[in-house]
Structure 1
Amino acid sequence: MTEPQASNAPSARVRWERVTQRPLLGLTVAFAVAYAAPIVDSSASRSLTSVCTAAEWTVWACFAVDHLVRLALTPRRRAFVRAHWPDLCAVVLPLLQPLRLLRLVSTLLLVGRRARMASQIRLTTYVAGSVIGLLMFGSLAVLSVERDAPHGNIRTLGDAVWWSFTTMTTVGYGDHAPTTGLGRMIAVGLMLSGIALLGVVTANIAAWFIARFDKDDDEERRRTEAIEALTAEVRALRAEVAALAARGDGPRSGRVPRG
């Protein structure tokens, strides 16, 4: 009895992921606050900006350590690296060029990959969280690079949020548009992300309808099979009754048998 229990026990990596899931979620919220504060409050002091920058690096470092610990707890490390190569890129990316936007991109990648492993997070919740996160961080990112641009027209948070909505939905009214190279790179990322999320939502809805139709077809098939079985049984009973009648049943014909 001890061997089956040992085989069914979760691995060390799975236990680590379960324990660290909620703390990493809290760090994600802390990163969002630290990233947004200096952008929303353009008159923030240098000390506040330094604290927020340190918080961003700390959160990124925590996710990087989480990735390394999961790698260390995995028996087949090469297979883990091949399956989670975006995580490795997200860990290495800010080290190559310590830009604030790269910390944002890498942390979002690590958060997304980590959340996708949580079995209790359903696809709808994940997609909704991705949309909200992309809208929020896309607005803040484009505002941070376009607010001080000489020819920029995205000056307020409202302009940035409106631009993010129209960009992610691929509507593109053109009333607000990035003018810097970095802002246009953010726009390309939002466009691709919006198209990908729209494809996921469409595929999820189509899969739900297909599953619903298959369920209805299976129910209809079971009903048809039950009716056919009942019809065959009635036919068999009729044949048996006809066979009994053909043998001659005196009482039904009104004849009284002689003693």
Structure 2
Amino acid sequence: MDHDRTKTRWEHRAEMPLTVASLTFLGSYAALVLAPRPDTTWDDVWLVLLLACWALFVVDYAVRWRLSGQGTTFVRTHWLDTLVLLLPLLRPLRIVRIYEAMKHRRGMPRLPLYARVIAYSGISTLLMGFTGALAVYQQEKGAPASRIRTFGDAVWWACSTLSTVGYGDVVPVTTGGRVIAAAMMAAGLALLGAVTGSFSSWLLQVFSREEDDEPPRRR
């Protein structure tokens, strides 16, 4: 129980700093990809910020691992946290958690479950689309025979990939770009399934409530 309380207290205190670090990481990475200035102080600043934020993520992971008391089992049971540690570009998705925590802390009425799933899936899609476009643009912009020459091309590719449309007019040709594409296709299917499933469940709940509220018909 002491471990659980200490772990909860740590997560509560670290939530806001880690969220700021996540957005700082994304901003620094975007600056390096979209506005590179080789051999300048600015690129050094963005790189230092990236490494500093990543160091915070490592410290948070190590502390939660230590406080969990699970040993190596923590890595398996918290595989998503491990994945995010290895792929820090996914860290900005923490903004979804901080939004929920702030609403709960202020005593505001929480949205119904279905509405929250749809809203958070939308936010996650936007963040994932932006980070995916950045990552694939970095991989593809200098590759021979690549069709992703501008960040606009990368954004268009990310939109068609996450929506599972996949026009095929712009596709990655590098190994790194294709790995990113595979991850985004899987994420797109998961997010689309969450939204459509929640919306369908909400409709069924509404129709069921309306039927229950209907007065009995006379025979």
> How big is the shift at 1:112?
4.3
Sort the Cα spacing of 1:89 and 1:39 in 2 relative to 1 into closer, same or farther, 3 A: closer
For the aligned residue pairs, the C-alpha RMSD in angstroms reads 3.0
- 2:143 matched residue in structure 1: 149
> How big is the shift at 1:217?
4.1
Sort the Cα spacing of 1:117 and 1:47 in 2 relative to 1 into closer, same or farther, 3 A: closer
Q: C-alpha separation between the residues in 2 aligned to 1:118 and 1:18? A: 13
Task: Tell me: higher relative CO, structure 1 or 2? Use CA pairs within 8 A at least 6 residues apart.
Answer: 2
Consecutive unaligned residues in structure 2, runs of 5 or more:
104-115
Verify: 1:24 aligned to 2:18, yes or no.
Answer: yes
Could you tell me the TM-score, scaled by structure 2's length? Answer: 0.78
Q: C-alpha separation between the residues in 2 aligned to 1:187 and 1:82? A: 25
- 2:182 matched residue in structure 1: 188
Could you tell me the TM-score, scaled by structure 1's length? Answer: 0.67
Letter in 2 for 1:129: I
> How big is the shift at 1:165?
0.7
- 2:45 matched residue in structure 1: 51
Q: C-alpha deviations, 1:31-70, integer Å up to 9, x for none?
A: 1110000111144544322322221222122122122222
Sort the Cα spacing of 1:174 and 1:89 in 2 relative to 1 into closer, same or farther, 3 A: closer
Q: C-alpha separation between the residues in 2 aligned to 1:179 and 1:90? A: 25
Larger radius of gyration: 1
Verify: 1:158 aligned to 2:163, yes or no.
Answer: no
Sort the Cα spacing of 1:215 and 1:170 in 2 relative to 1 into closer, same or farther, 3 A: same
Q: C-alpha separation between the residues in 2 aligned to 1:17 and 1:115? A: 15
Consecutive unaligned residues in structure 1, runs of 5 or more:
1-6, 94-104, 228-259
The SS at the match of 1:13 is helix
State which of 190, 197, 201 in structure 2 corresponds to 1:207: 201
Letter in 2 for 1:25: T
- 1:246 matched residue in structure 2: none
- 2:108 matched residue in structure 1: none
Letter in 1 for 2:195: V
Number of aligned residue pairs: give it: 203
